Every structure is written in structure tokens, then in C-alpha cells.
A = this chain, B = another copy of it.
Amino acid sequence: MTTSHKVTSVHIAGACRGRLGILGLEERRNREKERRRETILKAARRDFMKKGFKAVTVDAIAQRAQLSKGAIYLYFKSKEEIYAQVLIRDIEKFHDHVADIFHGGDSASEVLTRFARIYTDFFLNERELFRILMAFMVQPNPLNISEQINDHIIRNTNKTIGIIERIFQYGIEKGEFPGCRNIRQCRNALWGLLNGIIALHLFTGREETREERIRSTISGGLDVFLRGLTTNQETDSKS
């Protein structure tokens, strides 16, 4: 491999040689380790997305990654941790999509509508990811994953919710959302609205019409919600 000649070059380096040599080695080893982790994650993702968590065996992942089962456990604590890592990487992809959600001069309604569309589009293209994330949220027993990874997933979810919050902030500052009396509540309600609608439609009805139903329900629901946000009138039952 590239290993031998690199070691040689460090070898000539003089006084600091030994120390640098060790650091260089460790560095390379870490890179190698990272590369292996990537390989395993890539192999795992393919199967997880196709078959779901339970139906994928660690042996299968190992085989696809061209490693033994034991080796898998050198890089990950558990099957669930592999799964969680796959999720993390995918969630992060979402944030690329909404990074530039604020266009100058747009109304808050437009931004919120755009966010909803991006959110919907993303999860329509990554349906299994949606299922998995919801399942993760709703797990009765904490997954056997490191605190670190658990925190990471939660932090990413919060990041998404934070984007929604900024949109509401913007709408309130512009005086466009007088109907939003409490940002936290509105933010969580909207997030719930989006996820709840997607979840419902993943479960019910025929596949052929699913995408259309999700889009139209989100569009219709958001419409009502926006009307509530942009109106200041009291909710009054009589008319």
C-alpha cells in the first residue's frame, strides 16, 4: 500500500522523527478507520432502506462490506448504532436543502410555504427515512446507541424546528403573523402538522395516490393554518 513509503519519509525527519512518526501513523489509522466506517454505513444503508431495521442481519451488512461480523463490532457498538448513524447522515442532507430558505423580500407566508414544500419533497424522496425517524421518536425503549449519537439525532431534529421558529420570528417581526401569539406553540404545531399528515398518509390508502394526497393535504392544511396566522380576529364560534 501507500503505507511503506510514507513511513520511510517520516523516518528521515530527524529529531522529532519518532514523535511525528507516531502521530502520522495514528492519523493515518484514524483515516483508515473512518473509511471503514463509511464502507459499513454505505453497505448498511442500502439494506436498511430496502428492508427496514429488523429484516437486515449484521451478517448481511458484514458480507456486503466485505468484513467479518466481528469486525463490524470494532466500528460500531450495536446494530442499532449503525442504523442511527445512517439516519444522522441522512438528516444532515436535509439541512442542505433548507439552508437558503430565506430569499430577500419574501413574505413569511411564502417562506413557510416553501419550507413545507421542501420538507414534503425531501421525505417523499426519502420515505424510509421518514418512517425510521418517526419510529425512532416513538420507540418505547431507548435504542442501544451511545448517548452521543442519541444527542446528535435530537440536536438535528431541534435544528429543523429551529428553522421553523426563525420563520415565525420573521413573520412576527414583519407584522405578518398577528395570529401567532406564541412562537413555540406555533412552531411545534406546524412541525406536528407536517409530520402528522405525512405519517397518516404513509399508513392509509393506495400507493398510487399517496404522493398527491400528501401534497394536497399539506397544501390545504397549511392554507388554513396560514389564514389563522395572518388574521387577528378572535376565534369566535358564532358568525
Contacts and interface: CB of A to CB of B under 8 A. Distances in A.
Interface centre among A51, A178, A217 (most CB of B within 10 A): A217
A78 interface: no
Contacts of A201: 188
Given A108-B237, A109-B237, A192 B193 contact: yes
Interface string A89-114: 00000000000000000011110110
A157 interface: yes
A226 interface: yes
**Chief secondary structure at chain A's binding surface:** helix
A78 to B, nearest CB: 14
B221 A186 contact: yes
Oligomeric state, in copies: 2
Interface in A117-164: 128, 131-132, 134-135, 137-141, 154, 157-158
A67 interface: no
Given A185-B220, A194-B196, A231-B227, A202 B237 contact: no
Nearest to A180: B224
Contacts of A53: 140
A173 B85 CA distance: 51
Given A217-B192, A233-B227, A238 B107 contact: yes
A228 B237 contact: no
Interface residues of A, number: 74
Contacts of A236: 107, 109, 230
Contacts of A219: 185, 239
A76 interface: no
Interface in A198-222: 198-204, 213, 216-222
A192 B199 contact: yes
Contacts of A226: 228, 235, 237
Contacts of A198: 192
Given A192-B192, A195-B192, A204 B138 contact: no
Given A110-B237, A131-B138, A228-B228, 7 more contacts: A55-B140, A109-B236, A109-B237, A113-B237, A137-B202, A189-B217, A230-B239
8 contacts: A128-B140, A132-B140, A134-B134, A135-B135, A135-B138, A137-B199, A189-B197, A199-B199
